[in-house]
Amino acid sequence: MSVFPKVAAVAVVFQLFLVQPAWAGSSEPLKVSGADAAKGTTQVAIGAFNVGFIFQSVDQTKATGGLMGAFGGATKTKSELVGVTPEMMQKVADDAYADLVAQLAAKGITVQEPAALFGHAAMANPHGQASPIDINVTLEKGSKGKVTYVKPAALPTLLLIPGDFTGSGFSSIGINMAAGQAQMALSNYAKAASVPVIDVTYMIDFSNTKRPGAFSFGGGLTVNAGLSVSAGYSRLSLLAPSGKRTTMVINQPVAVEGDFIQQQDTTSGLGKTTQAAANVAGGVAAGLGLGGMRFGKTREYEMTAKPGNYELGATKAASLANTLLTDRLSALR
């Protein structure tokens, strides 16, 4: 049975939708490699379960054609999420981890107690990190950002293995080295105990921009934000006793929408005035047959997370990702 936090009198509705990201070359929800390594899996140890949180988001939509298209170029929305406390992040990590364990058990895959793994001689030096940890990473289209990773309380240390993140800058060099050593320690345990070890990493993103395929809510319910397990940066790795590795990368965002935030437009007055004037100039030029002068628009928002609602939404997104991954793992075995 899945585990979710229960929040009284909260009007939140969830909808799973899979959105084709600009960078993805496939419409498949998952990209799987090394599938053979997962065959015969009936028991696993969870070596790592990390939930990363993004607090800055940039969404860009293309201009439309015709006369109306002349009144704006691409629209860029810059959003900053505030108000997410360490306690809120910890609750999401704890509940999402418990949900993963429950889903694996429901599919006939036994999960070892963490003490069996972390008490083994092969894990004498797991090369873990303190939780939470901030890592500078490379995001979509070469942009950079900071992600805060949190482990569940059930695991004694935060482990990352190669592929869990794409670090940027000198500050990530040491973390990259530790990730390689952590993978070796986990692989040594898998061989010694004859038990596959899984590593799960999710990146929770947020957005206030409607995306293609998003569900439109009615009935007076407030829908002001989306939370998603990000594509490309979220995955499950299985380290088999044979030394082989199965990797399942989430290839399309797994998202929910609901009343998660309070939003404030923080675009400067000068910025709005300048953009309005540019739009008028573009419209006049189009009317004179001179072609649309498509000036880009930029809007900046500060989004404050609503305690209770935010955790519920992030946990639901992670649970849906858990289902996606465990369904495939079950099928592969």
pLDDT at residue 76 in the model: 66
pLDDT at residue 301 in the model: 78
DSSP 281-322: HHHHHHHTTS------EEEEEEEEE-TTHHHHHHHHHHHHHH
Instruction: Give Dmax (Cα) for the chain.
Output: 78
Q: How far apart are CA 226 and CA 208, in angstroms?
A: 6
Give the C-alpha distances (Å, rounded to integers) separating 27 from 115, 226, 231, 250.
39, 21, 11, 11
Q: Which two tokens stand for residue 69?
A: 């298209």
Q: How far apart are CA 89 and CA 26, in angstroms?
A: 31
Residue whose structure tokens are 């609503």: 306
Q: How far apart are CA 101 and CA 109, in angstroms?
A: 9
| Cβ 237 vs Cβ 163: under 8 Å | yes
Left, alpha or beta for 242 (phi > 0: left; psi -120 to 50: alpha)?
alpha
Residue spans of the domains in the chain: they are 29-332
Q: Mean pLDDT of successive 10-residue segments in the chain (333 residues)?
A: 45 42 60 96 98 78 42 63 96 98 97 97 95 83 77 97 80 85 97 98 78 40 73 95 97 86 74 52 50 59 90 94 97 94
Upstream peptide bond of 132 is cis (omega within 30 degrees of 0): yes
One-letter amino acid of 288: L
pLDDT at residue 66 in the model: 37
For the chain, how many residues are written?
A: 333
| Cβ 255 vs Cβ 19: under 8 Å | yes
Beta-carbon contacts of residue 35 (< 8 Å; ≥ 6 apart)? 246, 332
pTM listed for this prediction: 0.78
| Cβ 285 vs Cβ 291: under 8 Å | yes
One-letter amino acid of 194: S
Q: How far apart are CA 258 and CA 313, in angstroms?
A: 7
